[in-house]
Structure 1
Amino acid sequence: MIGTAAWLGSLAGARLHARQLPPARELPPTTQGPPQQGTPCGGRSSNPRTPCQSDVDKMMAALPDKAPAKPLAPRKVLVLARAAGWVHSSIPLAAKTIEALGAKTGAWSATTTYEAADINAANLKQYDAIFLDNTTGCFLDDPGDKTATAARRQALLDFIRGGKGIAAIHAASDSYHGTSCDPAQGYGAGGGQPLWPEWNKIIGGYFKFHWNDPQLITVKIDDPKSPLTAMFHGQPFEIHDETYTYNQESFSRDNVHVLTSVDYAKMSDEDKAKEKDPRSDHDYALSWIRREGKGRLFYEAHGHGERVYAMRAMLEHILAGVQYALGDLKAGETP
């Protein structure tokens, strides 16, 4: 059990803005509050659509006051929080974060759904962007209805290619890869093969391995001039979270414009050795953007642990990323 003083100290550290910290700044390994009392909470609890109140409080305290761009029109974001594979405890908190970011800054209004059936052409007409909240596995598919599956997939492709946006966090890249969409047949094991190549290219890469939470990672800023990284002020920073790597064949800088990445040179040999068959180029991007048809995609690899949503600079990064996906924030996007 964490004492009150220690908890408050961790909370204060999590709320520090990027420029208030020295280079290679570090978030404490845990910012979890006192044990929750009463109703279960969090995505892996018996009440999986309710975030824990202490996590919500820390997130709300870290929210930025202003969006980096003025919306060109009133914006609506659909948060899809359906996980067909591993279910993350942070899913309801991430959904609440997107709702709160939009409400506080006026950048958008958000609606959260856990139903893949809501990804259909008629429903999506009212939205300007979709936020994929740790959507693992074959998250759009209905195993018993191939027609519905095909329609949902096409609706998502048409949505972004027609000029709208997708923003995605963490396990959204742990989707549509492996040997089969059936978890019993080894879905996602060891990266595997692309199961929906069009989507695998759009999202920018698919999961191969992760360093376990709370692995310490130094994040370097690949594009310090981008408005999507302005909150980091060109300075590297340290973070404790679960950090993904991507199949060598699935991720390439030829396909995306990289914003941040793992500073692999600063990892210990012991930590590097945890990954079997590492990428030969040691290129481990963390966030990126790309165009798809007339639309836009933003992806951020961190967001496994609740502590990430109490980091003001990370919330500013996500805010900017969603505004890019909406088309309100312009940024260099050439791979």
Structure 2
Amino acid sequence: MKKLVLAAAAGLAMTSAAQADTQYKILVLAMPSKYHYEYIPIARESFERLGKLHAFEMTYTNKPEVFDGDLKQYAAVMFLNTPPEELNEARRKKFEDYMKDGGNAMLVHRSLIIPPNTWPWYEKLIGRRTGNHPMLQTGVVDVVDHKFPATFGLPEHWIWSDEFYVFDNPYQVRINPVLNVDESSYDPTKIWPGQVSHGMGKEHPLSWYHYAEKGRVFVTALGHDGNMYRDPQYLSHLMGGIYWTATGRGMRP
């Protein structure tokens, strides 16, 4: 009996330790759009594994009503392929206040697209305005900041297939590029009939970080296809972004 009591006590201690080991909590808003919906259950499963592996909590939802609650509990808020214009004015204001109070944001792929002048504050948060993009193609993605955690699991030159978004900078926001795409490795003009696409030249960022309001912002344009959320290198890229965005740690001197 004594051994059973000790075993039970040990089990409780282990449970308490496991709960105490949680380092931070993030919110992941994964809302569907016309071309991005199959990723939602795949990404959830992968993120749950990352949370267990790296000891963080996560609220994963496709319901914008989550912004009606307390955002201060989250070390970072991630827009995962979520159309940001779907947030109403009150929820946009809640998110803006969260960032102004020292919150942090991570923006992934489709979340970088918002109709111009719909939410100028959010465009500044991204750091770039997203234009159109060529068809999904295979290209070479180059690491340009080896000191940033979102590159630690990537090769210096990474073969990747995605929609390589084109950006401009109407608000003159300074960003710190993490990944660039080599435009000689794909055709920047390959697009659907009736549309026009062009490249950005040698400096074509796909991922970057910067600081907005009182918080950290990490951005990656990668992540179009649902299968990508099973890819170990891509998940390493996202985990590095989560780690830095939520904690501010990990950058090498």
User: Which one of 79, 97, 103 corresponds to residue 132 of structure 1?
Assistant: 79
Shift of 1:80: 0.7
Structure 1 residues 52-78: Cα deviation after superposition (integer angstroms, max 9, x where no partner): xxxxxxxxxxxxxxxxxxx99731111
User: Going by fraction, where is helix more abundant, 1 or 2?
Assistant: 2
Shift of 1:259: 0.1
Cα distance change, pair 130–280 in 1 and its aligned pair in 2 (3 A): closer
Matches within 5 A, 1:63-212: 74-83=23-32, 86-106=35-55, 108-120=56-68, 122-136=69-83, 138-141=85-88, 149=89, 151-175=90-114, 177=115, 193-212=116-135
Aligned to 1:220: 142
Retained in 1: the 8 A contact 2:39–2:227?
no
Shift of 1:91: 2.5
- The aligned amino acid for 1:124 is L
Cα distance change, pair 301–102 in 1 and its aligned pair in 2 (3 A): same
- The aligned amino acid for 2:158 is F
Retained in 2: the 8 A contact 1:171–1:301?
yes
Aligned to 1:261: 180
- Deviation beyond 6 Å, 4+ runs, structure 1: none
TM-score by length of 2: 0.80
User: Which one of 261, 274, 278 corresponds to residue 198 of structure 2?
Assistant: 278
Shift of 1:202: 0.3
SS at match of 1:314: helix
Q: CA RMSD in A?
A: 2.5
SS at match of 2:149: coil
Aligned to 2:159: 238
Shift of 1:158: 1.7
- The aligned amino acid for 2:108 is I
Retained in 2: the 8 A contact 1:173–1:207?
yes
Aligned to 1:312: 232
Whichever of the two has the greater Rg, that structure is 2
Shift of 1:293: 2.2
SS at match of 2:73: coil
Unaligned runs of 5+ in 2: 1-19
Shift of 1:216: 0.4
Q: C-alpha separation between the residues in 2 aligned to 1:85 and 1:162?
A: 33
- The aligned amino acid for 2:160 is I
Q: C-alpha separation between the residues in 2 aligned to 1:329 and 1:88?
A: 31
TM-score by length of 1: 0.62
Shift of 1:306: 2.4
- What is the identity percentage for the equivalent residue pairs of Structure 1 and Structure 2? 26
SS at match of 2:26: strand
Q: C-alpha separation between the residues in 2 aligned to 1:280 and 1:226?
A: 23
Q: C-alpha separation between the residues in 2 aligned to 1:98 and 1:158?
A: 26
Shift of 1:208: 1.6
Cα distance change, pair 86–250 in 1 and its aligned pair in 2 (3 A): farther
Retained in 1: the 8 A contact 2:189–2:199?
no
Q: C-alpha separation between the residues in 2 aligned to 1:307 and 1:103?
A: 21
- The aligned amino acid for 1:237 is W
Q: C-alpha separation between the residues in 2 aligned to 1:199 and 1:137?
A: 8
